[in-house]
Amino acid sequence: METTITAPKLKGGEWLIKPGNADGIFTPEDFTEEQIMIRDMCLQFLQTEVIPVMERIDKAEPGLMPSLMDKAGEQGLLSISVPEEYGGMGKDFVTSTLVSEALGGGNSFSVAVSAHSGIGTLPILYFGTEAQKQKYIPKLATGEWKGSYGLTEPGSGSDALGAKTTATLSADRKYYLLNGQKCWITNGGFADVYTVFAKIDGDNLPAGQAGFTAFILERGMEGFTQGHEEHKMGIKGSSTVQLYFQDCKVPVENVLGEIGKGHIIAFNILNIGRLKLDAAAVGGSKMALKDSIEYAKTREQFKLPIAKFGAIKYKLAEMAIRIYADESALYRTAKWIDEKEHELLSAGKPFNEALLGAAEEFAIECAILKVHGSEVLDYVVDEGVQIHGGNGFSDEYSISRAYRDSRINRIFEGTNEINRLLSVDMMLKRSMKGQLDLMGPAMAVQKELMSIPEFSDGDDKPFATELKTITNMKKSILMVAGAAVQKLMTTLSKEQEIIMNIADMAIKTFISESMLLRVMKAVEKTGVENNKVQISMLHVFLNDAVDALAKAGKEAINSFAEGDEQKMMLLGLKRFTKTAPFNSKDARRLVAARLIEDGKL
């Protein structure tokens, strides 16, 4: 498939200080025929192979999950991102993102496939030697071998570099002897290949080579055993075990990447994983919404389908609005990464460095998407259970499984708290390094606070009011974050509550702008009449986002400012978050009517 090579118009994080462009945004409406065909193939696979055996999957029937992954491999669903030279389909990043979304409604199966195709395969693909790639990638691409990833330990979760597992070079220098354990290892019970991280004992190594390092392990290696399957709240069909290493002999040629630089592998793979988790969350959310619409249309109370009641219309509409908003930001970012990857390829970078470099460029956005997408999914399945009423609490209905399975996503790929902190930390560090000019715009906002407010309604261009709202949301972030940095300086990192307030403001703003640009592009192409529902969704989401941003901003200001400074900032926040009265009830009812008619988003 040909891809237009254009440099991204914005660098990672620059959306905060520069206006977005509706013409340049990529949206789901821009999918090619091939991408739609691949998506439909994934959805068909779920309907025919996975959903009919979901109860058997949840009971962890021996051999069932590996057999389903074999079938997925036969259809090429495990090799979308793998280059053709290693037996893969070699598709672009947007297509691989779409596959993650399409398979996202498969509950435990989706977890197994995501782990295999992501953290189980990509470390070797991007950091392996040519010999390692030739040995492992073709078999991982077909599913003949299943992949897994061992990073977390009982005493180190978010603090990944605090791992205790050690690796010592053998006397004959042919092996590393690994000692320690890993926990919560997805696919661990049946995988054939594992990427495992350990700290090398440097006694037998040249100075400077000791440290956190990745290794490729294979099932059956001497000294390598696994624990029993964990009993979990959700994703019960996903294999989760502990791994144990007792003088586990790993050939020196199985060191992955550079010695002492395992953190580069761990953290770079996480950027892609966070975005793909959001994609899967979108897919799971759409599945739960579809089931809820169907139930609401057929379940009668007081001699009427419950879909006719305002309270249910509210829930269905709000579920769809949040999914649509998140989906807008997901594919906006996926296309940015795709474009940056091609830019780096054109500059002569090898394919592995190109994609990893592109994902790192937009690491802030990946963290935002992970947080927002997982929380949207949690909201959707929770309201889905409520729509189902007592039946939603029964295992007879799939929404109960969706509810249980969704909870892990706020922990996977770094907890949402960690990702909130990271998103702001990365933004500030880029500013300090001169990669992102936050200081200039922040000072301009401070100067604006001292000026007389502008009371004009602005121009009459389409979406002028909404664009101004987004601009003011950005000003609110710059005002609060700028003042917090100036006031707290080096102690800001210890004020996690304030940082998370700022992160919430940024999340609402990025998602809102992405949604606005998507709707603007749609209206420009097909007109207002054909996009009334989308416009209504935008107005509901934007109205609520401004209120949420104002609350987070107020909490942050009251946490570090006082006196006249506090009063001035609160007045500024009020100015920047002022919106016109809006009838959200009628807007949601319009959205709900379309959902009930179509049966899906």
Q: Please, what is the average pLDDT of the chain?
A: 94
> Could you read off the pLDDT of 213-264 as tens digits, one per residue?
999 999 999 999 999 999 999 999 999 999 999 999 999 999 999 999 999 9
The yes-or-no verdict on residue 2 having pLDDT over 70 is no
The yes-or-no verdict on residue 207 having pLDDT over 70 is no
Domain boundary among 245, 261, 277: 261
The CATH number of the domain holding residue 475 is: 1.20.140.10
Residue 469 lies in a domain: yes
**Measuring CA to CA, which residue among 218, 296, 279, 282 is closest to residue 250?**
218
Mean local confidence (pLDDT), 54-77:
97
Residue 189 lies in a domain: yes
Residue 5 lies in a domain: no
* pLDDT score recorded for residue 9: 73
The yes-or-no verdict on residue 202 having pLDDT over 90 is no
Q: For 34-94, give the secondary structure using H, E and C.
A: HHHHHHHHHHHHHHHHHHHHHHHHHCCCCCHHHHHHHHHHHCCCCCCCCCHHHCCCCCCHH
Mean local confidence (pLDDT), 478-499:
95
The yes-or-no verdict on residue 185 having pLDDT over 60 is yes
Side chain identity, residue 50? V
Q: Which are the catalytic amino acids? A: 413
Nearest-angstrom CA–CA distance, 307 and 311:
9
Q: Which of 96-100, 117-121, 155-159, 282-286 has the lowest mean pLDDT?
A: 155-159
Domain boundary among 261, 278, 305: 261
Residue 522 lies in a domain: yes
Mean local confidence (pLDDT), 432-456:
86
Residue 426 lies in a domain: no
Q: Which of 19-33, 98-112, 150-164 has the lowest mean pLDDT?
A: 150-164
> Could you read off the pLDDT of 339-390 as tens digits, one per residue?
999 999 999 999 889 999 999 999 999 999 999 999 999 999 999 999 999 9
Helix pair 93-102, 33-45: axis angle to 10 deg: 30
Q: What is the bridge-based pairing of β-strands 166-169 and 193-201? A: parallel
The CATH number of the domain holding residue 153 is: 2.40.110.10
Nearest-angstrom CA–CA distance, 549 and 101:
28
Question: Residue 314: pLDDT band by 50, 70, 90 thresholds?
Answer: very high
Residue 486 lies in a domain: yes
The yes-or-no verdict on residue 4 having pLDDT over 50 is no
Domain extent, residue 209, equals 147-261
* pLDDT score recorded for residue 5: 44
Domain boundary among 235, 261, 287: 261
Number of structural domains, the chain? 2
* pLDDT score recorded for residue 489: 87
Burial class (CB in 10 A: 0-12, 13-18, 19+), 523: buried
Residue 251 lies in a domain: yes
Residue 250 lies in a domain: yes
